[in-house]
Structure 1
Amino acid sequence: MFLNTVLVVLTDLAARFLGNTVFRQHFHLLLSAVVMFGPALSLWVSQHSIFAKRSHFLYRIFLRSGWGWTCIFVGSFVFLLSFSIRRSLSLSIRHLSRLGVAGGLWLGFCKLLDLLENATGSCYEPLLSGPEVTNGQPMLVLREGESKSECLKAGMLWRGYEVSEDVFLLCLCCLLLAEETAVFGPYLSLGGISGAPLRILFLFCVLLLWLWIFLLLCLLAYFPQFPTQLLGGALGCLSWRGLYQGWYRLGPSWYCPGRPGMGLLNTKTSSAEVEDAHLSHDHCN
């Protein structure tokens, strides 16, 4: 009973915070400020910290599989919420399709960025010994006719026009999590039924959101790469704006999954209550 009370209190507070209009309207600005000014933290952090190593378990377990973790928790929350309200598999799949669209967009951009780096880059062979080494830094000799994969397999260096895929992914996942979980607050305010499984999934999504923000700060502070990280953050924000602030606002149809909560928040029966539900939903979006 005590643990259930703690769970209800924590999820109610988190749902109220994520569903707040001020948070919804300014979260992307906060994330943009983090990406822009986060590299300045490198002046204060210690390079001997455990987070300064790419082999840290948080990077290995979560960052490399960031999209998978996001899909697991957000997908489970969205499916359970939508199916518990409407008991409609087609409606649940329509809401889940937003994850598929975002995943396809992310994979498409990753392919384009890889093509861009291959087209604008060159392969260099470092000379690690002899008079070519200057101030401890090896001289780089250009190797023509090498592709990026062949270059890296041969142990050489590839230098090209890069956009940080890690920052792009983290920004997109943070904005997606904020959008998909924000509907839980209005749902609770309308008297929606919420059992322990739904609240636990929501809490996991909130924790995942803060973990992505923490990892984003770690990347910016311990591995600053300007302007590649700034470009990655900008691409993530533009992807979110194009989907959630653009396409999804067209409303649910065969070519558009609609916004989060569309068709779910009008759970009451009287006309006045239905109108209040729609007003609350529009206010939050």
Structure 2
Amino acid sequence: MWVQMFLNTVLVVLTDLAARFLGNTAFRQHFHLLLSAVVVFGPTLSLWVSQHSIFAKKSHFLYRLFLHSGWGWTFIFVGSFVFLLSFSIRRSLLLSLHHLSRLAVAGGLWLGFCKLLDLLENTTGSCYESLNVEVANGQPLLVLREGESKKECLKGGMVWRGYEVSEDVFFLCLCCLLLAEETAVFGPYLSLGGVSEAPLRILFLFCVLLLGLWIFLLLCLLAYFPRFPTQLLGGALGCLIWRGLYQGWYRMGPSWCSPGRPGHGLLSTKNEAEDAESKNHYN
């Protein structure tokens, strides 16, 4: 019994601290600037990291397990948290699905931009086959192979030259900003005295851990696999989509064409309910 009480106390303390930090106004206003600084200056970490580290291998299980299926992890944890939080306040399945549509829109835009980037890369790039002949500068002689896509070119062990945007950095930046936006409402919710059972707190804690993992993987990619300016372009694209959605479209308010901001219609409803109860009490 005391073990359960101890674990519950630890859970409450950790989630309260994390919710207070993520819900802080300064953090919400400047997190995108911090993330931008990480993308710009992160490649300089390659001067200090060891290329013999386990994180210097793309076959590391963190890259394979989380990075290659990142949207799945994001939708599972963030989607569960958003759904449970909204449903516990309003008990409305339609409203909960309306809030979940923010994740679907972000995921759809990410997928659409990835398809567009692949199309642009295949259109503007070229595939070259390396011959065992060195030219004057010591570089191998490359022969153009026409009609090869980027995927087929790299799979065949050949060299691809062309414009490129880092899809991994694009994904990580977008997911970090999305997680920060969606979890920031938990702090104000708790400050208003919202009911916070263990399942909701556990989901919130998982979201915080996922945010930390995405930031860690972003630093690993920038430090161990620096690719300028492709990573900078990927980060800029992720920030651009976040600004267009959370700082633009979603601020229009909930409607048939907009899911609204995180917490819209939830925290205000709780305030209205408390005001109504206080009026009834005094009457």
Decide whether aligned partners of structure 1 residues 272 and 28 sit closer, same or farther in structure 2, where only a CA change above 3 A counts. farther
Say which of 40, 47, 57 aligns to 1:43: 47
Is 1:6 the counterpart of 2:10? The answer is: yes
Q: Which residue of 2 aligns with 1:155?
A: 157
Q: Which residue of 2 aligns with 1:144?
A: 146
Q: Which residue of 1 aligns with 2:243?
A: 241
2:234 alignment partner AA:
G
Say which of 112, 117, 125 aligns to 2:129: 125
Deviation of 1:157 after TM superposition, in Å, equals 2.0
Is 1:81 the counterpart of 2:74? The answer is: no
Supply the distance in 2 between the matched residues of 1:24 and 1:147 (Cα, whole angstroms).
Answer: 41
Deviation of 1:42 after TM superposition, in Å, equals 0.4
Worse overlay, 236-245 or 137-146: 137-146
Is 1:92 the counterpart of 2:96? The answer is: yes
TM-score normalized by the length of structure 1: 0.92
Q: Which residue of 1 aligns with 2:281?
A: none
Supply the distance in 2 between the matched residues of 1:193 and 1:138 (Cα, whole angstroms).
Answer: 66
Supply the distance in 2 between the matched residues of 1:95 and 1:134 (Cα, whole angstroms).
Answer: 61
Say which of 90, 112, 115 aligns to 1:111: 115
Deviation of 1:158 after TM superposition, in Å, equals 1.7
Supply the distance in 1 between the matched residues of 2:138 and 2:198 (Cα, whole angstroms).
Answer: 59
Supply the distance in 2 between the matched residues of 1:225 and 1:157 (Cα, whole angstroms).
Answer: 16
Task: Report the 3-state secondary structure (helix = DSSP H, G, I; strand = E; otherwise coil) of the residue aligned with 2:66.
Answer: helix
Residue correspondence of structure 1 range 168-207 to structure 2 within 5 A? 168-207=170-209
Which runs of 5 or more residues in structure 1 are unaligned? Answer: 275-285
1:197 alignment partner AA:
P
Worse overlay, 46-55 or 148-157: 148-157
Supply the distance in 1 between the matched residues of 2:152 and 2:214 (Cα, whole angstroms).
Answer: 32
Is 1:34 the counterpart of 2:38? The answer is: yes
Supply the distance in 2 between the matched residues of 1:197 and 1:93 (Cα, whole angstroms).
Answer: 19
1:156-211: CA deviations, max 9, x gaps?
A: 22221000000000000000000000000000000000000000000000000010
2:61 alignment partner AA:
F
Q: Which residue of 2 aligns with 1:226?
A: 228
Supply the distance in 2 between the matched residues of 1:217 and 1:134 (Cα, whole angstroms).
Answer: 37
Task: Report the 3-state secondary structure (helix = DSSP H, G, I; strand = E; otherwise coil) of the residue aligned with 2:73.
Answer: helix
Deviation of 1:136 after TM superposition, in Å, equals 6.7
Decide whether aligned partners of structure 1 residues 226 and 243 sit closer, same or farther in structure 2, where only a CA change above 3 A counts. same
Over the matched positions of the two proteins, sequence identity in percent amounts to: 86
1:84-108: CA deviations, max 9, x gaps?
A: 1111000000000000000000001
Q: Which residue of 2 aligns with 1:262?
A: 264
Task: Report the 3-state secondary structure (helix = DSSP H, G, I; strand = E; otherwise coil) of the residue aligned with 1:263.
Answer: coil
Decide whether aligned partners of structure 1 residues 6 and 94 sit closer, same or farther in structure 2, where only a CA change above 3 A counts. same
Is 1:70 the counterpart of 2:54? The answer is: no
Decide whether aligned partners of structure 1 residues 221 and 10 sit closer, same or farther in structure 2, where only a CA change above 3 A counts. same
1:54-105: CA deviations, max 9, x gaps?
A: 0111101011111111111000000010111111000000000000000000
Supply the distance in 1 between the matched residues of 2:220 and 2:274 (Cα, whole angstroms).
Answer: 50
Number of equivalenced pairs: 272
Supply the distance in 2 between the matched residues of 1:101 and 1:217 (Cα, whole angstroms).
Answer: 26
Task: Report the 3-state secondary structure (helix = DSSP H, G, I; strand = E; otherwise coil) of the residue aligned with 2:267.
Answer: coil
Supply the distance in 1 between the matched residues of 2:155 and 2:12 (Cα, whole angstroms).
Answer: 52
Decide whether aligned partners of structure 1 residues 184 and 218 sit closer, same or farther in structure 2, where only a CA change above 3 A counts. same
1:109 alignment partner AA:
F
Say which of 106, 111, 134 aligns to 1:102: 106
Task: Report the 3-state secondary structure (helix = DSSP H, G, I; strand = E; otherwise coil) of the residue aligned with 1:141.
Answer: strand
Deviation of 1:140 after TM superposition, in Å, equals 1.6
Which runs of 5 or more residues in structure 2 are unaligned? Answer: 279-283
